[in-house]
């Protein structure tokens, strides 16, 4: 009786492995046996994360440049206004 249950269990495990590692990837059009490509997936996710961080750093740099330009423009406007005020006073 125990061997019969063990046989059903082994068959169920083999079917589960076949379905998850062969049938579903073939149905989705991806590579079979994805369990062996875990390192590849980790590297791809790390690469994606690094690209996002680089893009964020680039955007931060652009924001800092624009803030510098605004500060320069506002500073020039204030200097003009203060020099005009000095010239107009008696």
Taking CA atoms, 34 is separated from 12, 60, 77, in Å, by 20, 37, 62
Q: What are phi and psi of 51, to 5 degrees?
A: -65, -40
In our burial notation (b when 16+ CB lie closer than 10 A, e otherwise), range 9-30 reads eeeeeeeeeeeeeeeeeeeeee
- 2-23 pLDDT, tens digit per residue, is 999 999 999 999 999 999 999 9
Output the pLDDT for position 39. 82
Output the pLDDT for position 90. 52
- 27-64 pLDDT, tens digit per residue, is 988 888 887 777 887 888 899 999 999 999 999 999 99
């Amino acid at each position: 009786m125990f061997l019969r249950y063990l046989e059903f269990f082994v068959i169920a495990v083999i079917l589960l492995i076949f379905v998850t590692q062969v049938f579903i990837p073939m149905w989705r059009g991806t590579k079979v046996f994805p369990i062996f490509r875990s390192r590849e997936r980790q590297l791809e996710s790390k690469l994606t994360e690094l690209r996002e961080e680089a893009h964020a750093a680039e955007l931060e740099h652009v924001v800092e440049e624009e803030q510098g330009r605004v500060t320069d423009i506002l500073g020039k406007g204030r200097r003009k206004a203060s020099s005009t005020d000095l010239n107009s006073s008696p």
